[in-house]
Chain A
Amino acid sequence: DGGITQSPKYLFRKEGQNVTLSCEQNLNHDAMYWYRQDPGQGLRLIYYSQIVNDFQKGDIAEGYSVSREKKESFPLTVTSAQKNPTAFYLCASGIARELFFGEGSRLTVL
Chain B
Amino acid sequence: SQQGEEDPQALSIQEGENATMNCSYKTSINNLQWYRQNSGRGLVHLILIRSNEREKHSGRLRVTLDTSKKSSSLLITASRAADTASYFCATDRAGANNLFFGTGTRLTVIP
Contact = CB atoms under 8 A, between A and B. Distances in A.
B43 A99 contact: yes
A85 interface: no
B57 interface: no
A101 B31 contact: no
Interface string A62-90: 00000000000000000000000000101
A45 B41 CA distance: 17
Contacts of B45: 98-100
A59 to B, nearest CB: 5
Given A50-B97, A56-B97, A59-B1, A42 B102 contact: yes
Contact of B44 (A50, A101, A104): A101
Interface residues on B, range: 20 to 34
A98 B101 CA distance: 13
A53 interface: no
Measured as residues with beta carbon below 8 angstroms from the partner, the interface class of chain A is 20 to 34
Given A41-B103, A97-B92, A104 B33 contact: no
B99 A103 contact: no
Contacts, number: 53
B48 interface: yes
A102 B1 contact: no
B98 interface: yes
Interface in B70-111: 88, 90, 92, 97-99, 101-104
Contacts of B31: 97
A5 B1 CA distance: 28
Contacts of A102: 42
A58 interface: yes
Contacts of B43: 43, 90, 92, 99, 101
Interface of A: 4, 6, 33, 35, 41-45, 48, 50, 56, 58-59, 88, 90, 92, 97-104, 106
Given A43-B101, A45-B98, A48-B97, 12 more contacts: A4-B42, A41-B103, A45-B1, A50-B97, A56-B97, A58-B98, A88-B40, A90-B42, A90-B43, A92-B42, A100-B45, A106-B40
